[in-house]
Chain A
Amino acid sequence: MSGLVIRNGLVYDPLNRVEGERMDIYVKDGRIVEGPLKNAEEVDASHMVIMPGGVDVHSHIAGTKVNVGRLMRPEDHVKDVLPRSGLRRAGVGHSVPTTYITGYRYVEMGYTTVFEPATPPLKTRHTHEELDETPIIDKGCFPLMGNNWFIMDYIRENKYEECRDYVAWLLEAVKGYAVKIVNPGGVEAWAWGKYITYLDEPVPWFEITPREIIRWLCKINLELKNPHPIHVHTNNMAKPGNYETTIETMDSVKDMASTSNGQPIIHVTHVQFTGRSGTSWINVGSGAPEIAEYLNQNQHAEIDVGQIVFGDTTTMTADGSFQFLLHLLSGNKWANSDVEVETGAGVVPFRYRKGNYVNAIQWGIGLELALLVKDPWRVQMTTDHPNGGPFTEYPKVISWLMSRRARKRLLRKINSTARRRLHLEDVDREYSLNEVAVVTRAAQAKSLGLAWKGHLAPGADADIAVYNLDPKQVDPSRDYLKVRKAFRKATYTIKDGSIVCKDGEIVSSMLGRTYWVKPPLSKEARESLISNISGKFREYYTVGLDNYVIEDEYLANPHVVAPAR
C-alpha cells in the first residue's frame, strides 16, 4: 500500500492554526506528508471532524499501585467484562482496566499517546512491563522524586551539581520521561506519622522544606532541558483551603521563568483536588476563580484539571497520607504502601455522589478551572484517571465543556448547597471544537515536548482521530449527547499511519513506543555519581544498584527523546 489519504474531513489542528477547514490529510510511512499520493488507500471523512490523535498527560494506567487497584477491586471488574472478540483480547474494564483493555479503550476514543504520571523508580521495571503490555498507544512514565532520600540529602547538604547529576542519572536509569513531585516532603513526613501543611514546614529528619524540593527540582529540570516541566501534585491534597497552597506552589518558581523561552516551567496536576477554598468540610468551596486569576496573569505555570465524574471509581496516588484521609472519610477499604527510600502510595475505592456536598463542589471546581482559565493551552483536560473518574468518561467532560445546557442539566441534580456556593451557574463560556482539540491533544503534546505529536503538519506522526460529528449539522451546545456519542467511539483511529480502530472496533494492533529521556551526563560526572551513591545504595536499599538500573533492551519499543526545551 502506498499510503493513506483521509478525504474531505473538517480538520481541527490548533498547533498549525487550522480550525475547521475542509482538507485532505495524506499519510505515508507512518508520517503526515504533503499530497497528493498515488494509489493510496482512501478514507472518506465527509461530514466528519479530523483531529490529531488524543494525548493524555496524566493517566494512571500502569505500575504497582494500578495493579494493587486491580487486585483489590474484583467487584469493579465484574461490571465490565470483555470477552475475546476478533482481534481484541479478553479483559476487564471500568475504573482499573487490564492493560490490553486500557490500550483498546483509549484507541476507541481516538487517543494515541498516554503518560503514566507516577512511578516509584524502584518499581518502574514493573511499570514498563505493564506499559509494554498496553497495546497500540505510545506511552511513557514519570518517576517520583519529591520524597527521594538521595535528593533530599543533596538538598540538605547543598550539593546542587550532585543532585542534578542524580536526577539525570535516575531518569536514564529507570527510563523515565519527566520529573514527578507528589506532596513534596509530605509523603516522607507521613511515614514518620507527621503531616506537611505548608510550603516552608521542615520535613522530619531532612530539615528541608517542600519549597526547596520544588525549586531545586525545577531548576534542575530546566538545566537538563527536559521536554516536560516538573509535574507537581501539591501539598495539602484535598484539604479545605488548599487552593492557597496550589497558588503558592506555582509562585514558588516564578522567578525562574525567564530561562524558559516563555514556556511553562511548572505543571500542576489534577488541580480540582487542590483547588478548594474554605476552612473546614462544612464551608469547603471552590478556589477555582483565584487559581484561574493567577494563571491568567502568569505564563510560567500550566495545569491539568483532574475533573471528577459522578459514579464509582478507584482512587490511587503516591500521596499515601491523602489516601489514608480518604479511607477515614469514606470507610472504604484501603491499601497502603511505603516504597523504600523513595515514596509511598495508597489505593481506596470511592463513589462520587451528586447529592454529596463535597463531591458536588469537586465537580464544579474542575469545570470552573477549565472555563475560567482564559488560555486553553495551559489548562489540559484529564480526569486524573482513575482518581476523578475513568478515562472512558472523557466524552462526558468534553460535553460539559462545550455545552452550558449540559452543565445546567447536571447542576439541577447536584447538592443544592454546593450549587449555590459554586460559580459555575454564572459561567457562560462554551468550548469550541478547536479548544477541545487544544485541551485534549495539542496542548498536552506541546507540554510534553513531543513536537511530532498533537498536530497534522507534514512530518508529524500519523496519529489521527476521525469523529462522526458534523459541526454544520450539530450544535454542540444543544446536541451535547451527539458530541458525547461521537467522542466515545471514533469512526477511525489511525496510529502511525495504520487504521487501528474503525467505528469503535479494534481492527489492527501494534506495539506502541515507550518514550524516555536521556539528559546529558558526562562520563566523569557519571563515575563520580555512581561511586557516591553505591555506598548509599548498600545502606538504604534492599536491591543492588546493578539490579536497579533498567537496561535499554528491557523495554519492548523504547524511544529516547532528546533534551528539547
Chain B
Amino acid sequence: MEIVLNYRNTMNLPLDLSPLTPEALDGMSAEDVGKVKVYAGKRMFELSRFFKVEERSSGEDQPLKLTIMGDLRNARRIGFRMKTGEIRVEGNGGIYLGEGMKGGVITVEGDVDSWAGSGMRGGSIAINGSAGDFLGASYRGAGEGMSGGVIQVKGSVGCEGGGWMKGGLIHVKGSAGPFLGVHMQGGSILVEGDCASRMGAEMTGGRIAILGAVPNILPSFTLDSLRTHADLVTMKVEGAFYMFTGDNNEQGQGRIYVAKDKNPHFTWFEKYLGRWE
C-alpha cells in the first residue's frame, strides 16, 4: 500500500514528522493516518490539518511506501529511526531527515537541510538536490556519527559532512564544505567535486576520497604514497591519487585520497616521499 501526503503548506512553525515511519503507519487507512498527531511548534495537531492524505494500492505484501509531496523545509525528522519500507519526498526535506534510521529507503527529489542521516545505522538515503551541514554526522554532542548504510547526494553538502562517522558510505556528486569527516572513525566518504579545507581533522580511522580540487591538507597529515586507485572500505575508485594518512595529532589511522590531476599544487609533497622510511 502507498500513503500519499500532500502538504497544504499552511504552517510556518516547525513540524515534527517523526511519528510517520512506514512501520508505524503499516496497516493504517488514510483516515487513520490523517488522525496521527504531530507536533507543530509546541502543540500537537492531527496530521490532516497540514496534509491531504490519500491511499493508493500497490503490490500485495510490499512494505508500506510513504510519499510526501510539497516543500517540507520546515518538516523535521522525516523517517526518524525507520527500519523498513520506503519514504519518497517529492520536494525539499527539513532537518534531521533519516536521523537514526536503521533500514529502508528514503528518496528526496529536492534539497534537504542539516543533519540528514545523523546517527544512521542502516538503509539508504538518496538526495537529488543538495544537503545542508552535518550530513551523516553525530547528533549534537553525542560523538557517534553514522555507523552503517549509504547516503548519496547529487548536489553539494555543507560543513562537517560525515563528522564522527563510524561506518557506511557517503557519496557526494557535487562539492563538500569544510571539515569533511571531522573526528571520523570509520566508513568511507567519496566526493566527486571539490572539497573545502580541513577535511579529516582529528580523524582516527576511515577513508575519504576527493576527486576534485582541495585548497590544502592539514599539516597533521603525512603523504604516504602515490596510488593508482582509492581503496575505500566498500569500493575502489580508479585514478591517480595522493594518499595522506592521519590525523597524526590523534595517532589516527585514517586515509585521505586526493586526485593528483586536479591538485597540481601538491606536487611539492612528492619530494618527501620515502624520506621517512
The interface of chain A, by Cβ under 8 A from chain B, is: 72-76, 78, 83-84, 90, 332-333
Assess the B39–A75 pair: CB atoms within 8 A.
no
A421 to chain B minimum Cβ distance, whole angstroms, is 32
A333 CA to B142 CA in the complex, in Å? Answer: 10
What is the CB-to-nearest-CB distance from B114 to chain A, in angstroms, rounded to a whole number? Answer: 14
Question: In the bound complex, what is the Cα–Cα distance between A74 and B142 (angstroms)?
Answer: 8
A111 to chain B, nearest CB (A): 28
CB distance from A293 to the nearest CB of B (A): 42
**Chain B interface residues (CB < 8 Å from chain A):** 39, 42, 138-143
A333 surroundings in chain B (CB, below 8 A): 141, 143
Q: Do residues B42 and A75 form an inter-chain contact, with CB atoms below 8 A? A: no
**A84–B42 CB distance below 8 A:** yes
Main secondary structure on A side of the interface with B: loop
Question: Is A83 within 8 A of B140, CB to CB?
Answer: no
Query: In the complex, which residues of chain A have a beta carbon less than 8 angstroms from the beta carbon of B140?
Result: 74-75
Among B39, B140, B141, max chain A CB count under 10 A is at B141
Q: Which residue of chain A is the closest to B140 with respect to CB atoms?
A: A74
Q: Which residue of A lies closest to B44 (CB)?
A: A83
* Nearest residue, chain A, Cβ from B142: A75
15 residue pairs bridging A and B, Cβ less than 8 Å apart: A73-B141, A74-B139, A74-B140, A74-B141, A74-B142, A75-B138, A75-B139, A75-B141, A75-B142, A76-B141, A78-B139, A83-B39, A83-B42, A90-B42, A333-B141
Distance of A332 Cα from B141 Cα, bound (Å)? 11
Give bound CA distance, A76 to B138, whole Å: 13
Q: How many A-B residue pairs have CB under 8 A?
A: 21
Query: Which residues of B have CB within 8 Å of A76?
Result: 141
- Name the residue of chain A whose CB is nearest to the CB of B139: A75
Residues of chain A with a CB closer than 8 A to B143's CB: 75, 332-333
Residues of the B chain whose Cβ atoms lie less than 8 Å from the Cβ of A84: 42
Residues in A with CB closer than 8 Å to B42 are 83-84, 90
A90 / chain B contacts, CB cutoff of 8 Å: 42
In contact, A72 and B39 (Cβ under 8 angstroms): no
> How near does chain A come to B275, taking the closest CB pair, in angstroms?
32
Nearest A residue (CB) for B99: A78
List, in ascending order, chain B residues with CB within 8 A of A73's CB. 141
**From residue A217, how far is it (CB to closest CB) to chain B in Å?**
38
User: A74-B142, A75-B141, A333-B141 known; 18 other A-B pairs, CB under 8 Å?
Assistant: A72-B141, A73-B141, A74-B139, A74-B140, A74-B141, A75-B138, A75-B139, A75-B140, A75-B142, A75-B143, A76-B141, A78-B139, A83-B39, A83-B42, A84-B42, A90-B42, A332-B143, A333-B143
**How many angstroms from the CA of A383 to the CA of B42 in the assembled complex?**
33
For residue B143, which residue of chain A has the nearest CB? A333
Bound-state CA distance A78–B77 (Å) is: 13
Expressed in whole angstroms, the Cα–Cα distance for A333 and B138 within the complex equals 14
Q: Which residues of B contact A332 (CB under 8 A)?
A: 143
Which B residue sits closest to A332, measured CB to CB? B143
CB distance from B45 to the nearest CB of A (A): 13
Residues in chain A near residue B39, CB distance under 8 A: 83
**Which residues of the other chain, B, contact A83 by a CB distance below 8 angstroms?**
39, 42
Most B CB atoms within 10 A — which of A73, A75, A76? A75
Q: How many angstroms between the C-alpha atoms of A78 and B144 in the bound complex?
A: 14
Question: In the complex, which residues of chain A have a beta carbon less than 8 angstroms from the beta carbon of B138?
Answer: 75
**Shortest distance between the CB of A84 and any CB in chain B (Å):** 7
The 4 closest A-B pairs by CB, nearest first: A75-B142, A74-B140, A75-B141, A74-B141
Q: Hey, which chain A residues are within 8 Å of B139, CB to CB? A: 74-75, 78
Q: How far is the CA of A73 from the CA of B141 in the complex (A)?
A: 6
> How far apart are B165's CB and chain A's nearest CB, in angstroms?
16
- B141 to chain A: which residues have CB within 8 Å? 72-76, 333
User: Within the assembled complex, what's the spacing in Å between the Cα atoms of A332 and B143?
Assistant: 9
Residue on B with the closest CB to A77? Answer: B141
- Within the complex, what minimum Cβ distance (angstroms) separates B144 from chain A? 8
> Once bound together, how far apart are the Cα atoms of A75 and B138, in whole Å?
9
Tell me, rounded to whole Å, the shortest Cβ–Cβ distance linking A386 to chain B: 15
Cα distance A73–B138 in the bound complex, in angstroms: 13
CB of A53 to closest CB in B, whole Å:
32
How many angstroms from the CA of A84 to the CA of B143 in the assembled complex? 29
Q: How far is the CA of A359 from the CA of B138 in the complex (A)?
A: 26
A78 partner residues in chain B, CB cutoff 8 A: 139
B208: min CB distance to chain A, Å: 22
A84 and B41 CA atoms in complex are apart in Å by 12
B182 → A minimal CB distance (Å): 14
Chain B nearest CB, measured from A155 CB (Å): 41
User: Which one of A76, A78, A90 has the greatest number of beta carbons of chain B within 10 Å?
Assistant: A78
Q: Hey, which chain B residues are within 8 Å of A75, CB to CB?
A: 138-143
CB proximity of A166 to chain B, nearest CB, Å: 40
Q: How far is the CA of A332 from the CA of B42 in the complex (A)?
A: 33
